[in-house]
Structures are given as structure tokens and as C-alpha cells.
A and B are shown apart, each in its own frame.
Chain A
């Protein structure tokens, strides 16, 4: 992975944090305003705690997640098998043999473009045999996608 991927994950986790925190604020506001009889009194009185808890719990994760991901995410192509590891709390290992690859996409979102990063999407006939490798340096991604496409064409095996 490129080191700049950390920045990308940081941006993404910030956005996620903003959405969650905003949602919690809205919910707290709504609970505080409504006098819905079903809810016990102590809940609506302490609704302001909700965004606070969400903020306190999630704020460190905003920093931890990108670093952790950077430590976990790996990819390699060897022996005509693509191997990719991803995740942080949960992990995922994907093995895709080049001979079963149907398409190789190289994609760039806004942030990725700004950071000169790219995502390589490897598609097979099955979602469980497909892999998305995020946060590659653009040139690396281009070369990797190119090589994969070339190899896939050579090894194409139409078993599925």
C-alpha cells in the first residue's frame, strides 16, 4: 500500500465519524424535544449523553483505524494467484487465481485522485472470488492492472 492510503482512510473515517456524530446529535435533539410517554423520563433527560458517548468512543478510532488498516492491508501477485488481505478489526483474505479473472478495473474517486491513489477491482464470476484492492499508488495500480489483464488473457480458463 502507498503511505498516502493512510490519508485516504483518515478522510473516510472522518466522514464516517461526522455522519455518526451528526446522527447521534439529531437523535438526542429529537428525544430531548419529544415527550413520548413510552420512553422513561431518565432517558429523555439524559439524551445529551448519547452524542457525547458516540464522540468519545469514536474519536480515537478515527485515528486508529487508518494506521491499523495500513498495518493489515497487503496484496501480492505470485504464482499467478492474487492474494489480498484487508480489514482492521475484522480481517479478510482473498485468493483469486489469475486464470479465473474476468475483468480488471482501475478506479479513482475524488479523494483518491487528489492523493494520486487508485483502486484495483478484480472481478470473477463470483462475488466471493472478487477482490478490491484500495489505496494503491496510481502508477503501481496502473502497472498491476495492466499486468493482471495481460496474464489473465494468457491464462483465461472458461470453466465457469
Chain B
């Protein structure tokens, strides 16, 4: 590693508020850094004004540096509090839970001064509770750990090793947005909410700088380079060394440094790419134009929102119903009234069905507004949302591949959704999303740019697989139809027959989806019809193989090969490959694992 910090002048004017790394000599070292090779002026931008540099920054009353934008999380970083502005949000957030008890007190006690007093006490109590909770919660970055200290009743310290942080999720709900606050969530891959850290709420600037610090710290730890890893991995390991530098305003000719040997795809998308902004080593990989929001309803996402809304309303009516004296009898009366007006009922249902795509589209647009995917310092950051803006950072080093998903209707319009396959990512359905519904060519470009290209055509599976797909799509319905017919339910029987007929194109389509391929770095498998998914996974992510063969598969001479991957769903199956074909596929990807057993008599 060279020392670009002192050698390279900054082509852009560094933000004056930023700490200038050139002030800090290489003499200042942080003990958490594992090796001298990693030291350089680059990372010292994240350092606290320590003993090595007395009085470089003036300190605020809390011993905190007052310089805005500086990153005051040093080796023994001072404990910090959440933004006090969150106190304005907390009571509002508690209001719904307080509303019913308050109403109860007021109703039960009559509108007497005493009951008003009690109510005031309740409100005051909740405010005091919020203040005390705020005052007793601190966080600090200490060495290579983040410590969250809660001292409300009993003192509890949650320590999160930065090494474990796999992604950072910054969300700004509407209220937070008004007050320029953000919620920062740490994904530690521990699974479940218990182990994950949440800071609610920081100022937006603080959240950004804390994210930079957390991500820089954790990416310094070098890892043994796994065998067979591609060039992309090499650059990814080197990339963190540049992080600190870039963050502090020394530009390192952006795009070429962040581990993308795939510049063809970048230039193909011209204007959006190559744009760097601010003081980050940042590049926008993809930005979804507003006109593409119209593809949203095709995915089927949020289509059920009208029903969910109605269910919510009914639930609310019953919840509040106790107070308003709505009971089962009245509800039944309403139902009988509706039964008496079938036209109204039909109109309602039609309205609801018409509302499905509209409301679904609106919800989709609200959640996926201005979806932007960018790289920043070895991270992929996906930002989206109209009301609540959400930014999810995924560490590139942990990304093992991607998944392209399209449904039946989406395929007609040639649009797909894109997910990243990330090791140890909790809630990967929402966090791993790299693109909402976008045209396939665009999504493939973005995936190639952000993760890696995969152009090898998929190998089809043998014809027995088609027979099996057809059989499995048709027979169950035929059996149901036969049973219904025997029981004398003609209507149900004919419905099942129709479904069985529909099973023919479905089975054929399922067969057409099947495929697998390997291009030397990544393997890919595809299956499904109503929801077709193509996974592209790096070879080095594979932790094992499972070959499965049911009795029926053995009779057809096919088997299912599952590539075990410590990321995403855990296993990616190539369904119903030919017996030899499947074993060859596994042996092709990892010859040194499978090879010996092909020769062994135990197969």
C-alpha cells in the first residue's frame, strides 16, 4: 500500500469542516489496527484527537469535539447520547398507547379536576420516562467495539464487535425527517432482533459519520484470502485501505478503485455512472427513473394492500368497538343488511379489485421512490422511499452473488427484480434488495457492474424433467377432481379439472425455467414459474453440495443438486438434472471435492 494521503493532492476542494488527514502524521497509530501494513495517514481521519495530538480540536462541554463533521469516535471514544430532538418524537409515538387509558380515566372519573390531574400525571410521567431513558442511554465506539449502555433500571451494556457488523441500515421515518433525524440499525447477522443494535435517533449528520466510522473500522481487519477467489476479491480486500483516505477528501480516482474490473457495463449506462459526489468515494450504479414505477404492480407486490387496509379498519372498529358499543349483534345486523343489497356487495368487490393495482402501485411508488444504488467505500448502498427514506449499506466483501426474480406477468414485460446474496444478512428480503422492478437488460447491467457479470447460457435439463414438471403440475388436480367427482361435487370437480388443464402450460413453463451453468467464477441455477428465480453465486461461497434423489427421481434417472451457500437462502438447487449431468456440474465447479468420489466405489 502506498501512502496516497500525503502524496496525492486533492483534485476537489476538501470540505473545510472535514478533518484534514494531512495534519495527522503517520506517527499517530491506533492500537486496534491489526498490522503495521494497514497503517497510513488514510485511516487516521477516523481517530480521536488523542494524546498524540493535544488540542487539535476544541472540545465541547461533554469532552466532545465541537467541530461538525469530524468523527469523534476514537480509541476510547467518549460515550455519546442520542439526539435530544428525539424527545420531541417520543411522546407523539407514545400517544396511541396512552390514548385509551387516558380516555378511560376521563370517562370513568367524569370530567372532574381529579381525573384531569391523573391524566396530566400520566402524560407527564411518560415524558419524564422518555427523558430519563434518553439520558441513561449512551453509545460509544471503543476500540473495535460499539458499546450500547442502558442504565435505566439495571445497567446493561451491549457490546457489538465491529467485526460482526455486516450492514448498516439508516432509516428516516417522516417525523424523524422533519427534525432531521435518522434511525441507525446495525445488522450483525446474529439473527433475530435481540442481537442487533439500534440507535433511535441520531441527527442525520451523526448517523452518516457514525456509519462511516463503523464501516471503516470493521473493514480494516484483513481476512485470509480464500482459494479460487477472483480478482474482484483482491481489490475488495485492498479497498478498505483506501476508505479512510477517500472519506476525508482525498479522491482516489473513484470508479477504478472500488474493485470493478467491469467498466464496459459502466460506460454503457453513461450519465448515471461515474458520478462522484461529496467527500465519499462514491459512484451511482443505478438510479431507477420515475417512469419505471409503473412496472410496480406487475410484481404483485402490495396488490393485497386494499384487503390489508380493510382488515385493519375492521380490526380497529372491533378494538374501539367496546367503547362505541358495537357488538356482535350489531355486526350481524350490518351483515344481513349487506346481504339484502347484493348489488352493493358486488359493486364493493369490483371496486376493491379495481383498487388493487392502483393502491398497490401507489404503495409500491411510496416505498420505492427514487431507488438509487451506489457504491461507497467498498459498500453497496441502496436508498429508497418517499415518506420514509431508507438507506441500506451492504458490505461488498460479503456479497456472494445475486438473484434475479420475475413473476409470470413480469416476464411478459421483460422486467425483473434484483436481490443481493449476502452472507449473514438478516431480513434479506428487504435489506438485500438491489433493484425494484426494472427492465431485465438494465438489471443485468447493474448486477454485472455491482457484483459481477454472468453471461454463460444455462444448460437445459433432460426431458425426464419436463415429464416430471408436467406430472407434478397436473396430477394433484386430477386426483382432487376424481375425488370430488366420486363425492358427487360436480362444481368443485370441474374447477379442479380446469386447474389441471392450466397445469399443462405451467408445467411446461417450469421446465423451460430449469437450467444451470458455470462460467469459471460463478455458478447459476434457475427454477420456478409463477416466481422464477435465477441465482448467480460465486464459487468460493459454496460450502458443500447435497445431491438428492427421491424414488421417483431415480425411476426417471434424474437428481437434484443443491449448492450449499452460506448466504441468501442457504442452498440453491438445480432441480432434476440428469444423473450424470448433475454430478458433472458439481464436479465442474469444485473438481477437487467431487473428483475423488467419482472414482470411489461408494458412489
Q: Footprint of B on A, CB under 8 Å?
A: 38, 40, 74, 76, 78-79, 81, 83, 85, 89-97, 100, 124-131, 157-160
B566 & A160 in contact (Cβ 8 Å cutoff): yes
Would A127 and B549 count as touching, CB distance under 8 A? Answer: no
Q: Which residues of B contact A131 (CB under 8 A)?
A: 544
B586 within 8 A of A: yes
Complex contact B602–A160 (CB within 8 A): no
**Could you say which residues of chain A place their CB within 8 Å of the CB of B554?**
91
Rounded to whole angstroms, the CA-CA distance of A96 and B573 in the bound complex is: 16
| Chain A contacts for B95, CB-based, 8 A | none
In the complex, per-residue mask of B408-445: 1 if CB is within 8 Å of any chain A CB, else 0: 00000000000000011000000000000000000000
Cβ contacts A to B, 16 pairs, < 8 Å: A90-B551, A91-B548, A93-B548, A94-B545, A95-B586, A97-B544, A97-B590, A97-B593, A125-B424, A126-B565, A126-B570, A128-B544, A128-B545, A128-B573, A129-B542, A129-B543
A76, A158, A160 — most chain B CB neighbours (10 Å): A160
Interface string of B535-579 (1 = CB under 8 A from A): 000001111111111110110000000111111001111000000
Residues of A within 8 A of B487 (CB): 38, 40
Q: How far is the CA of A131 from the CA of B547 in the complex (A)?
A: 12
Question: In chain B, what residue has the closest Cβ to A92?
Answer: B548
Apart from A97-B544, A127-B571, what 9 extra A-B contacts exist at CB < 8 Å? A38-B487, A89-B551, A91-B547, A126-B571, A128-B565, A129-B546, A130-B544, A131-B544, A158-B226
* Residues A93 and B544 in contact, CB atoms below 8 Å apart: no
Taking a contact as CB atoms under 8 Å apart, the answer to whether B540 and A92 are in contact is: no
Specify which chain B residues have a CB less than 8 angstroms from the CB of A124 in the assembled complex: 543-544, 564, 566
Do B567 and A160 touch (CB < 8 A)?
A: yes
Is B194 engaged at the interface, CB distance under 8 Å to the other chain?
A: no
CA distance A96 to B565 in the complex (A): 11
Query: Chain B interface secondary structure, helix, strand, loop or mixed?
Result: mixed
Question: Which residues does chain B contribute within 8 Å of A90, judged by CB atoms?
Answer: 548-551, 553
A157 and B576 CA atoms in complex are apart in Å by: 31
Please name the 9 residue pairs, one residue from A and one from B, whose CB atoms are nearest each other, closest first: A125-B566, A129-B544, A129-B564, A128-B571, A160-B566, A159-B226, A128-B564, A129-B543, A126-B564
Residues A92 and B547 in contact in the complex (CB < 8 Å), given A128-B565, A128-B571: yes
**Cβ of A95: which chain B residues have Cβ within 8 Å of it?**
544-547, 586, 590, 593-594, 597
User: Which parts of B502-551 form the interface with A (CB within 8 Å)?
Assistant: 540-551
Q: A76-B602, A157-B224, A158-B226 are in contact. Are A129 and B547 (CB under 8 A)?
A: no
Query: Which residue of A is nearest B573, CB measured?
Result: A128
Shortest distance from the beta carbon of B602 to any chain A beta carbon, whole Å: 5
Please determine whether B544 and A96 come into contact, CB atoms closer than 8 angstroms.
yes
- Within the complex, the shortest CB–CB distance from B601 to chain A, in Å, comes to 10
Considering the chains assembled together, what is the distance between the CA atoms of A49 and B250 in angstroms? 83
Do the beta carbons of A157 and B226 come within 8 Å of each other?
A: yes
Task: Give Cα A94–Cα B547 distance, bound, in whole angstroms.
Answer: 6
Q: Which residues of A contact B332 (CB under 8 A)?
A: none
Q: B597 contacts A83, CB within 8 Å? A: yes
How many contacts A-B (CB < 8 Å)? 123
**Distance of A81 Cα from B602 Cα, bound (Å):** 14
Q: Tell me the smallest distance from the CB of B510 to a CB of chain A, in Å.
A: 21
Q: Which residues of chain A are near B564, meaning CB under 8 Å?
A: 96, 124, 126-130
Cβ–Cβ < 8 Å partners of B423 in chain A: 125, 160
CB proximity of A57 to chain B, nearest CB, Å: 15
Q: For A100, list chain B residues within 8 Å (CB).
A: 543-544, 566
- Residues from chain A with a CB closer than 8 A to the CB of B551 are 89-90
Q: Output the least CB separation between B421 and chain A (Å).
A: 11
> B600 to chain A: which residues have CB within 8 Å?
76, 78, 83
Chain B residues within 8 Å of A81, by CB = 592-593, 596-597
Q: Which residue from chain A places its CB closest to the CB of B542 in the assembled complex?
A: A129
B592 touches A159 (CB 8 A): no
Q: Are A92 and B546 in contact (CB-based, < 8 A)?
A: yes
Residues in chain A near residue B567, CB distance under 8 A: 125-126, 160
Closest-by-CB residue of A relative to B224 is: A158
The answer to whether the Cβ of B400 comes within 8 Å of any Cβ in the partner chain is: yes
* List of B residues within 8 angstroms of A38 by Cβ: 487
Inter-chain CA distance A130–B567, complex, in Å, is 14
Q: Is B475 an interface residue (CB 8 A)?
A: no
Beta-carbon contact of A128 and B602 below 8 Å: no
Query: How many Å lie between the Cα of A93 and that of B423 in the bound state?
Result: 24
Quote the shortest CB–CB distance from A121 to chain B (angstroms).
13
Tell me the minimal C-beta distance from A28 to chain B in angstroms: 19
| Contact present for B596 and A129 (CB under 8 Å) | no
In the complex the two chains form, is B596's CB within 8 Å of A79's CB?
yes
Assess whether B223 is interfacial by the CB under 8 Å rule: yes
**Chain A residue contacts of B594, Cβ below 8 A:** 95
- In residues 387-415 of chain B, which contact A (Cβ within 8 Å)? 400
Distance of A159 Cα from B596 Cα, bound (Å): 23
Cα-based distance from A78 to B599 in the complex (angstroms): 12
Q: How far is it, in angstroms, between the C-alpha of A40 and the C-alpha of B570 when the chains are bound? A: 47
Which of chain B's residues have a CB closer than 8 A to the CB of A128?
544-546, 562-565, 570-573
Residues of B within 8 A of A94 (CB): 544-547
Q: How far is the CA of A95 from the CA of B223 in the complex (A)?
A: 25
Once bound together, how far apart are the Cα atoms of A63 and B178, in whole Å?
Answer: 71
Whether B543 and A96, one on each chain, are in contact in the complex, defined by CB atoms closer than 8 angstroms, is: yes
Which residues of A are found within 8 Å of B227, using beta-carbon distances?
157
CA distance A158 to B600 in the complex (A): 29
A79 to B423, CA, bound (A): 26
- The winner among B423, B424, B548, B573 for most chain A CB atoms within 10 A is B548
Measured CA separation A157–B542 after assembly (Å): 12
Q: How far is the CA of A129 from the CA of B567 in the complex (A)?
A: 11
Docked complex Cα distance between A157 and B227 (Å): 8
How far, in Å, is A63 (CB) from chain B's closest CB?
19
Tell yes or no: B59 within 8 A of A by CB: no
- The reply on B229 being an interface residue by CB < 8 A is yes
> Nearest Cβ distance between residue B571 and chain A, in whole angstroms?
3
Q: Complex: how many Å from CA A7 to CA B123?
A: 68
B550 to chain A, nearest CB (A): 4
Nearest Cβ distance between residue B178 and chain A, in whole angstroms? 42
Nearest CB to that of B595 among chain A residues?
A79
A31 to chain B, nearest CB (A): 14
Interface residues in B580-599 (C-beta closer than 8 Å to A): 586, 590, 592-594, 596-597
A82–chain B nearest beta-carbon distance, Å: 8
Complex Cα distance A116/B128, Å?
A: 62
Residue of A nearest to B567 (CB): A160
CA distance A47 to B599 in the complex (A): 53
Query: Interface centre among B546, B563, B565, B596, by most A CB within 10 Å?
Result: B546
